[in-house]
Each structure stands twice: as C-alpha cells, then as structure tokens.
Amino acid sequence: MTGAAETTMRMSRVGAFDVRSWDRGSGPPLLYLHGFEQHPGEAPYLARLAERHSVKAPEHPGFGASTGIEDIQHILDVALHYREMVEAWGQGPVDVVGHALGGMFAAEFAAVSPHLVRRLVLVSPYGVWRDDEPAADPFVLPPAAMDAAKWHDAAWAKRETSAFTDVEDKAELAIFRTKNLSAATKFLWPIPDRGLNRRLRHIKAPTLVIRGESDGLVPLSYARDVAAGIAGARFEAIPAAGHLPMVETEQAFIDLVEDFLR
C-alpha cells in the first residue's frame, strides 16, 4: 500500500469487475464502503483514518468508474464481491467501516464472511425496514427536503463535499451522479429491505453502530434494530450530526471509530 502522505486512485481487477479505489496509509488494513450517492473522494475523514490504517475505499459496482452492476443480481453477489476483494488484498481479517448503503453491504459481507472481518463499524446503515415507521425515500425527496434530512446544520447543504470524480462539466457531473443513484436503486428501492435482519445474527465481529442524532434518512429505531440483531453490538449516537456524521462532526466520528478499532 501507499505511504501515509500518498494516495493512489487506481483501477484493479476483482473477479470479472473493474474497480476504482482510493488507497492510502499504512498499518492495520481497513475497508471503507461508501454511501448511496457517490464515493466521498479525498474526504478529510478518510485521510484521518489513513493516519493509522491502510485504507482501501473502492467504488461499488456500477458507481463511478467501477463496473459490474449488470452482473449483480442479489445482495449476496455484492457480499461475495467484497469477499473476493479482501481475499485478494491478502492481509487476513480487516476492519470494515460502511456508511448508509455501504453499511448495508458491510453487514452482509460480515455475515457471509465472518473470518475476514476483524471489527465492523456501521454508520447509519440501511438494510432493515419497519412498516410502522417507514424511512424517507431518498430518491423522491425534493432537494430542500433532502438537505434537511441529511444535515443537522443547514449550512452544510451549501458546501460542496468531495466527490471521487475529476468531472468538472456540470452536465457530465449530473450524468455521473445519476449513474451512481441508478446503481443504488438496485438495493434501496422501492424499500431497502433485502432480508438483512435475518442474517445479522451471523455477524461475529465486534460491531459498533453509529447514527447522527439528526439523521432524517435512517430512523433511530432502524439503527437500534441493526445493533440489537448483532450479538454484543454497541450503539452510539452523535449529537449535532445528521446522516453524514463523519463530515459534519468529523472529530467526534474519528474519536469513536479509532477508540473502537483499538
């Protein structure tokens, strides 16, 4: 892997798929799985994690430059894709951090490949559902409602968060983001329930579930249900944070994650 001050954004082959990933750091291996909108790119919190870990943060199949979404037929296919990736990494069990859709993927991976996950962090994970408390549908929310659901502090909605793309043209950027959201709908629409609640009991890794207290996309009961389904899992709420606590409350997020991974 690269040194702590270097970043390699590279393409690699994982089975039948081409995968673009952000790699940085040295130390214990850590796999970071991004949320449903796009890869965070050169995000400050990823750089912070890379100060103590060898971080590999791939784009999911069908996102950005990564291929393979047309060959993904089931959530199990995604879990096996990440198993193949970690096995190719060749460093044994790894720490896994997943956010939102990436949290759903991380949990599925940990359930089917417990021997490859040392510790697991799920940040506002999707994957469960309650008919008595339907979660917001991120694909139909108007922009203003989406911003309100994502952020505790509305000022964050006006800041451009880092994206793993070198696309500068606004029209091309819109196409890039539409492609990512289209890939996400395969798992999150019409409802993000693919039976994860039945498989949570197979997760053996020590697990931390994190949610921003002001998250308007993943209800509190959903995050607690995920934690309750995993033996010994710990739940932590971060004050003054919405759906992206790693962005809005970076220091609190890093402190929680690093303390847990240690």
Q: What is the mean pLDDT of residues 178-205?
A: 96
Query: What beta strand segments (E) does 15-135 contain?
Result: 17-24, 29-33, 54-58, 94-99, 117-123
- b/e sequence 168-206, b meaning 16+ C-beta within 10 Å: eeeeeeeebbeebbebbebbbeeebbbebbebbebbebb
Report pTM. Answer: 0.95
Q: Output the pLDDT for position 242.
A: 98
Residue 219: is its pLDDT beyond 60? yes
pLDDT tens-digit readout, 94-113: 999 999 999 999 999 999 99
What is the SS3 assignment for 94?
strand
Q: Output the pLDDT for position 166.
A: 65
Residue 37: is its pLDDT beyond 50? yes
Domains of the chain: 7-261 (3.40.50.1820)
pLDDT tens-digit readout, 59-80: 999 999 999 999 999 999 999 9
